[in-house]
Each structure stands twice: as structure tokens, then as C-alpha cells.
Structure 1
Amino acid sequence: MANQLYIGCIADDFTGASDAASFLTQGGLKTLLLNGVPEDDRNIDDDFTAIVIALKTRTQEVKKAVYDTNKAFEWLRKRKAVQIFLKYCSTFDSTRHGNIGPIVDNVLNKTGSKYTILCPAVPINKRIVRNGCLYVDGVPLNESSMKHHPLTPMWDSDIANLMKPQGKYECLKLDQYLMKKPKEEILSLIHRFGSDKEHFYVIPDFVYDEDAKKIVDVFGDLVLLTGGSGLMTELAKRYSNSDNPSSGKVSMGTAGHALILSGSCSQATLAQIDVFKHRGGKSIKIDSSKLTGSEEIERLWDFVLEHRSKPVLVYSSNVTAHISEEVKQSKQWRSVAGLLEDTAAEIAWRAVKAGFTRIIVAGGETSGAVTKRLGYNSLLIGESVSPGVPIMIPINDNKMRIVLKSGNFGGEDFFIRALDMTKE
């Protein structure tokens, strides 16, 4: 018997999608993760109560990002999703041109909604919103490491200011004091604010994990929600019940070799690389100056094969350290970033063909490139290595274990934990 599809989530990159899927599963919904919009969905079961579609819209050209999101939205609407959730990064990764604003505005109009919320916070991962400003590990967003992100450098921590150049509408901030008021008072305030507006955005404070309950209580009936994964578990609980169980526990261990690929330049990932190396892990760095030919891929692959008896790390994560900010914002750097992603994807593909059964990837763009190259378009969600980072099993290859993490996620021993949890 078919289940109702309660939540249709559209994520702007693959690690963001797996992040969302893990919390929806935790909340009790049977969740399927799709890598892109299926061209043929006849083989997709209709017993899933949440479906997350991973796109690559975070750093796409604006028109392409809106087009791809609209395609995913129409696919989910065709499957009669009750609620749409636009998932973006908890650090609000975007530029002054988008892509969060244009995407939200497009779907806001498509759903006929007057307003939606902008809610990137994930307190369990130390991303909070206080007085409408986004903090990372207690530091304002624009003073964190995100200030120097090569693709989406963050110039402000005030979400309204971040939306102003990329979104069409005004923002209403609801601080902790207002969010503690009764639901009816909050909704009345919102109604008054929006009485003379075509559309608008609401930014609720979200400081503690338990704040999710109030936010979902107030805004849970909206057809369109947007934000990070902080609301996912509580949102899923609104729909899950004894007749609608979660996907259940599956064995996470598998036999076989392990490969780690890192394309993230976040401080968290750099620390994770250091821990792996200091504990004796085998590693090799991609030489970004040699990516235009095939020699570099062969060098990397020879190293992986030579050391395959133990987990091997292939990384490009600190190549940005010696590149100027001007270059990082140029088409030249975006071309280099694409070559780095393609290189990681090629190494992953060769590893799977050679019998590797555990692939661990750091970095959203790298994860998207790897999963696309491997052809894993439908994945089941298992246990989490850290909050928002699940172990995933491809539906068409139950011996394979995939772990994909956003650059900023996980403790310093993340790679060690992922290896331990996926081994038989």
C-alpha cells in the first residue's frame, strides 16, 4: 500500500541532502535520497514518506539553479508532497547574486504562499540564529572561517542583510522574546507585518535544540519551509506515527577496502585530515597545477593501489592556502575547483571498480561529483557518524557504504569514526 509523501526536500548540494535525510529518518519518516531529479521514476517505490532530492545549485549560475530547483519542485508536486522544504547550508552559503534568494522567491510564487521562513540554524552543530544574526561556533558568520570561503565568502551575519541583495522581499525578524509568545500572538504579528506586502520572509531565532518545537508548532503548516536541517527531526515527528515507521536499522559494517576523498577547505576538515595523518593514515595531496593532463590522476591512483591494504586519503583541501582572494573569485578558480572535483570522482570510480566498498567524502561539491560519477542515484539512510552525516547504502549495491559530509561537519576524529563504523 502506498504511503503519503509528507515532505519533499530539495537540497542545494549532496552533503546537504544527506544531512537532511539523516534527520528526517531520525524523526521517524522512511526517507529516500535521490541524486538529481529522476528521468524515469517508475522503479521508485511509493512507500517513502520523505524524499530528498540532491541538486548542485549552491554555486550554479542563477538561472540554471532556479531551473533545476523548479524541475525538482514539479517532480515532488507530481508525487503529491504535502510540504516542500528548500534545504541550504547552515552557514547560508550564497553570494550577493544568489542562489538562496532567487530559488526561494521562485518556489514561493509557485506554491502561492505569502511568506516562508529563513531558518538555517542547526544548534546541535553549533550554528544558531540570535536576533536575526547567524553564529558559527559562537562567532558571527562573517568573522568565522566562512569569511574566506573560495566560492561563497560570507560578508555579513545578519540574515536580512544577506537576503537583501539576492531576494525580492522584506524580512521580519522574530527574536527569542517574540518566539516565546503564544502561537496566536506570533501569527497575528506576522499577519499585521504582511498585510500590505505581496510576499515576505520570516527569520525566527533558533538558539537551542528545543526551540525547534516552537518553530515547527508556529510554522509547521506552511506549504513551503526553507533552511538548514535543524527543524527536520521535529518536522518529521509531526507526520510519523505507529502506522508510519522509520526505515529501521540496517547493518552498517561491510568488508572491503576504504578510500577517503577530501575537497573541502574548511577548518574542520583540515583538522580531520591532520588527525588522520597523525594517527598513521596513508595520504596523498592532489597537485592542482597538473590537473589538465592524465598524469596526476595516474599518480594518485598508483598511490591508492599501492597502499590499499589500509584506508587511503586523497585530498586537495589546502590548495586554497596559497591562492589569492582575487583568484578565488575568478572563473579561473572555478575551473580549477571543477577539475579537482572531477579528479576526486575519477579516483572514486576506479576504486569501486577495483573492489573498494567504503567511500568517505568531505565537501559538498566533491560529494556531488563523486556520487554522480558512481551513478548512485537512490540511497537508503543508515546510522549517523556525526549529527547530519549518515552512512548510506546504494539501493542497487547493498555491499557499498557511502559517507558524505559537508566540510564544516564532524569532530576532529571524523574520518577515524567513519572508518570504524563502516568496517565489518
Structure 2
Amino acid sequence: MGRHLGIVADDFTGALMVAGYIEGAGIYCPVVFDHAGLIPEAPIIVAGTRTRTIAVSDALAELARMSDAFVQAGYARLAYKACASFDSTAEGNIGPAADFLADRQGLRPVLMSAGFPRYGTTVHQGHLFYRGRLVSDSIKRFDPLTPMPDPDLVRFLSLQTPHPIALVNHATLVNGAGAAGEAVDALAAEGAGHVLFDMSDDNDAEVAAELACARPSVVVASDPLIIAYACRLARAEPAHPMPPPRHADGPAAVIAGSVGPVVLRQLDVFGEAHPVLTVDLLDPRGEAGMIAAALEWAIPFVGARPFAISSATDAEGVERAQRMLGPLGAARRAEHVLGTIAKGLYERGVTRFVVAGGETSGAVVSALGIGAVRAFPEGPLGTGFCVAEGGTPISLYLKPGKLGADDVLLRALDLMNA
């Protein structure tokens, strides 16, 4: 079995999402959260990291650690997976990650692509749209850490890298990989260090993937291009003989750390059937006190019925926490509190977790000490289900905070019981 591509994802939910689609194509694709958990015989492998919102220097150190481990295991091609809306700031971390991999591999221009058309995120003429609106006019403008004020990705990403960024638009991509390749070569001759592809529809991803496979490439992209690229590279590989994963038995809990109206509505619907506790990040008892109180509250429900513990709040609550702790401080406190609560719940018998929020997912998986998981292929809720490999079985459903129907938390629990 060949080792074709090592993918470093900038958060844990994104890692599971691409792995689930690749597994659905019949290609074995484990997800690791620690380089010690690498499985060298896998044709495609994904690392879930937390590089989306941490400091640039820390993100590059994590990217170096995982990419070095992949190359040492025999993966000659590397890719960096960012979220569909390319959540980032003027400092990074997408541009710095692209520059790091380009320098490490000695390959330019980097091939870049944002968007995920099936979920309403597209890029046309280099402009990012989220659910039919420019990202700067969408709910993404309320993101506490990466509000994305500029929809022009060429202009915005140019703030993150000293290397010029150029665009291959949809009108060129509809003419196929040959035309796209000629455009990339011309832009590279003019000095482009990165080339961004439009993502107006799924065909744009297929054309870009065909081009990327035809030449040595560094790819920095969201889900559609990463998935299409991986599947093309490994399409001649037989399906891995391991059976598909099964969910763990045992009590279940929901952990929600995202912010905004989507997750609040999901918690409201969940709360109509099950108990919900919202922790206050400004609780005067401090972190240890609020963690202990949350675990004491949860004990009567463990094994008796599902329940949720959340730090999610409305815009006023977010503003109050950020005013006292700073945007990053509030986010990190929420992650630490919820991750520690999840660990305490596991120690009290909970083995199935539904987690809302990319950063929260990273905190929970890290707190549980999970080194590797096997992703489930796409199902009724898309991707995001996985089981921990080795040790005591743990099942997880990790979802981005801003995705999913109102009843997604309830449905996820039902599917874990199926």
C-alpha cells in the first residue's frame, strides 16, 4: 500500500470532515492528533491540529512537527487543510502555513482554494461568499477571533505573506486542467508565490485537483480540493481490510463551546428534551470552582439520560466576557473549562461525546488524551463521527459550531445509539 498524502488540518472538526469523505470513497484515512500515533501503511493520513487560532510561531511549530513526522513515515506530498471560510486574521495563519510548506518542500507556487459549495460557501472572482452573502456581511463577521472583514481573498491573504497571490478564476477552470495549468505557469512566471483558485462549484475543485496531481504540488485549501486531491492520488489503492468502526457503548453528553445564534438554537432544541447547564466564564468561583460545580451537577444524569454542558451565550454575554478577559482569553478559558469537564465526565463513565465548536473539539480530544481516531464515512448528518483507536472505546461527534440543523445534537445522539 502506497503512502500518498499527509494532510495537516487546522482544527479537529476539519480533520474529521475530510477523513470521513475520503473513507466514504473506500480509502483508508486515519486521523491522528499526535505524531506518535501515525499509521504508516495508510495511503492518506490526516493530522488534526489546533493551528487555526494559536500564535503564528506556535502554529508553525505544530505544522513542522506533524509535517516532519509525515515525511519520515514516507509521505512525499503534503497539504494544509483550512476551514471553508479560510478563517484567519491579517497575521495568519494560512499564509504563514503556506510559506512554511512551500519552503520546506521547495515548491512554488502554492495551490490554494477556499469554499465548500455544498455547504453554501463559495469563492467567485476571488471573493468569498458565506450562505449567499459576502463573508463580511454574513454571520461570520461576529466570529470573536476571526471576523473576516474583507471578502477579497487575494487582497486579504496578501496581508499574511510577502509572496504575491494571484487568481485563477472560474472562467478559466471551466476550460479544464490544461487551461488552468497554463494560467498557473503564466502567473508563476510573473512572480506569483501562491495561486488561488475560484470555488464556484464542485467542478472547480476537480479541475484544480487534476492539476495538483499532475505536478509536484503544495496544496493549501479547504475541504473540496483537499478531498478531490486525496481521492485522485489514492484511487488505485484497494479499500483497507479493516471493518468500519462501531460506536462505543455507554453514557452520552453534549459539550458546546461555540458562540452565536446557530448553536444557541441547537441547545434550545436539545434542552426541550434533556437538561442543559450553561457555565459562566466570569463565575466568581474561578475555573476550578465552576468545573467542580458542573461535574457535581452532571453526576445524577450520567447513565440515566443525556445532558449538555455549555459555555455558549448570546452576543451580550460574549461581549461581557471579552471585555473582562479579552477575545483570546475568553476563548482559551472556555476551552480549558470544557475540556477539563469532559475529562471529568469520562472518568465518571461517559464514553460518547457530542461536541459543538472546532476549538472546543480540539480541547475535548486533547483533554481526553486521544491520539488517533477512525472517521465514519458520510452519513445522515454528513461527517464528524469517529471512534478512538486503542484503549477504552470513546465515540465522538465533532461539529463546527455554525453548522447543522436545529435538532442536530439530538440526532447525533440517536445515531450513536443506532
TM-score where L is the length of structure 2: 0.92
Alignment size in residue pairs? 415
Q: Distance in 2 between matches of 1:154 and 1:247?
A: 43
Q: Distance in 2 between matches of 1:61 and 1:189?
A: 34
Matched, 1:217 2:246: no
Q: Distance in 2 between matches of 1:248 and 1:282?
A: 38
Offset of residue 26 of structure 1: 2.1
Q: Is the 8 A contact 1:18 1:388 kept in 2?
A: no
Offset of residue 178 of structure 1: 1.1
Which residue of structure 2 lines up, in the alignment, with residue 18 of structure 1? 16
Q: How does 1:151-166 map to 2 (within 5 A)?
A: 151-166=145-160
Matched, 1:176 2:170: yes
Q: Distance in 2 between matches of 1:104 and 1:396?
A: 33
Deviations 1:256-308 (A, max 9, x none): 21100000114332222222123x22101011112624221122112211223
SS in 2 for 1:8: strand
Which residue of structure 1 lines up, in the alignment, with residue 142 of structure 2? 148
Q: Distance in 2 between matches of 1:104 and 1:182?
A: 25
- Shifted more, 251-260 versus 98-107: the winner is 251-260
Residue type of the partner of 2:122? I
- Shifted more, 229-238 versus 328-337: the winner is 328-337
Matched, 1:203 2:190: no
Counterpart of 2:34 (choices 33, 36, 39) is 36
Deviations 1:107-129 (A, max 9, x none): 11111111122212111211111
Residue type of the partner of 2:388? P
Taking only the aligned residue pairs, the percentage that are identical comes to 23
Q: Distance in 2 between matches of 1:306 and 1:385?
A: 32
Q: Is the 8 A contact 1:170 1:201 kept in 2?
A: yes
Offset of residue 243 of structure 1: 4.5
Matched, 1:75 2:73: no
Q: Distance in 2 between matches of 1:329 and 1:107?
A: 37
Q: Distance in 2 between matches of 1:8 and 1:330?
A: 40
Matched, 1:371 2:371: no
Matched, 1:271 2:252: no
Cα 1:111–1:302 shift into 2, 3 Å: same
Residue type of the partner of 1:33? V
Matched, 1:312 2:311: no
Offset of residue 367 of structure 1: 0.9
Which residue of structure 1 lines up, in the alignment, with residue 91 of structure 2? 97
Offset of residue 220 of structure 1: 2.7
Q: Which runs of 5+ in 2 are unaligned?
A: none
Which residue of structure 2 lines up, in the alignment, with residue 399 of structure 1? 393
Deviations 1:379-410 (A, max 9, x none): 11114456663311111146321111121222
Deviations 1:166-203 (A, max 9, x none): 11222222222111124323222222222142x52222
Residue type of the partner of 1:307? F
Q: Distance in 1 between matches of 2:398 and 2:50?
A: 14
Cα 1:223–1:276 shift into 2, 3 Å: same
Q: Which runs of 5+ in 1 are unaligned?
A: none
Offset of residue 48 of structure 1: 1.1
Residue type of the partner of 2:213? G
Offset of residue 248 of structure 1: 6.2
Which residue of structure 1 lines up, in the alignment, with residue 6 of structure 2? 8
Matched, 1:287 2:287: no
Deviations 1:102-154 (A, max 9, x none): 11111111111111222121112111111111111111111111112111111
Offset of residue 358 of structure 1: 0.7
Q: How does 1:384-423 map to 2 (within 5 A)?
A: 384=378, 389-397=383-391, 399-423=393-417
Q: Distance in 1 between matches of 2:130 and 2:281?
A: 30
Q: Distance in 2 between matches of 1:345 and 1:354?
A: 14
Q: Distance in 2 between matches of 1:293 and 1:234?
A: 43
Q: How does 1:98-117 map to 2 (within 5 A)?
A: 98-117=92-111
Counterpart of 2:127 (choices 133, 136, 142) is 133
Deviations 1:202-254 (A, max 9, x none): 22221223432222122333431111111243223313446421576535444
Residue type of the partner of 2:280? D
Which residue of structure 1 lines up, in the alignment, with residue 335 of structure 2? 341
Cα 1:255–1:359 shift into 2, 3 Å: same
Residue type of the partner of 1:6? H
Counterpart of 1:226 (choices 220, 226, 232) is 220
Q: Is the 8 A contact 1:29 1:236 kept in 2?
A: no
- Shifted more, 238-247 versus 23-32: the winner is 238-247
Q: Distance in 2 between matches of 1:21 and 1:358?
A: 20
Residue type of the partner of 1:324? E
Cα 1:246–1:64 shift into 2, 3 Å: same
Offset of residue 411 of structure 1: 2.1
Q: Distance in 2 between matches of 1:244 and 1:20?
A: 19
- Shifted more, 228-237 versus 162-171: the winner is 228-237
Offset of residue 84 of structure 1: 1.1
Q: Is the 8 A contact 2:21 2:383 kept in 1?
A: no
TM-score where L is the length of structure 1: 0.91
Q: Distance in 2 between matches of 1:243 and 1:95?
A: 38
- Shifted more, 153-162 versus 75-84: the winner is 75-84
Which residue of structure 2 lines up, in the alignment, with residue 303 of structure 1? 297
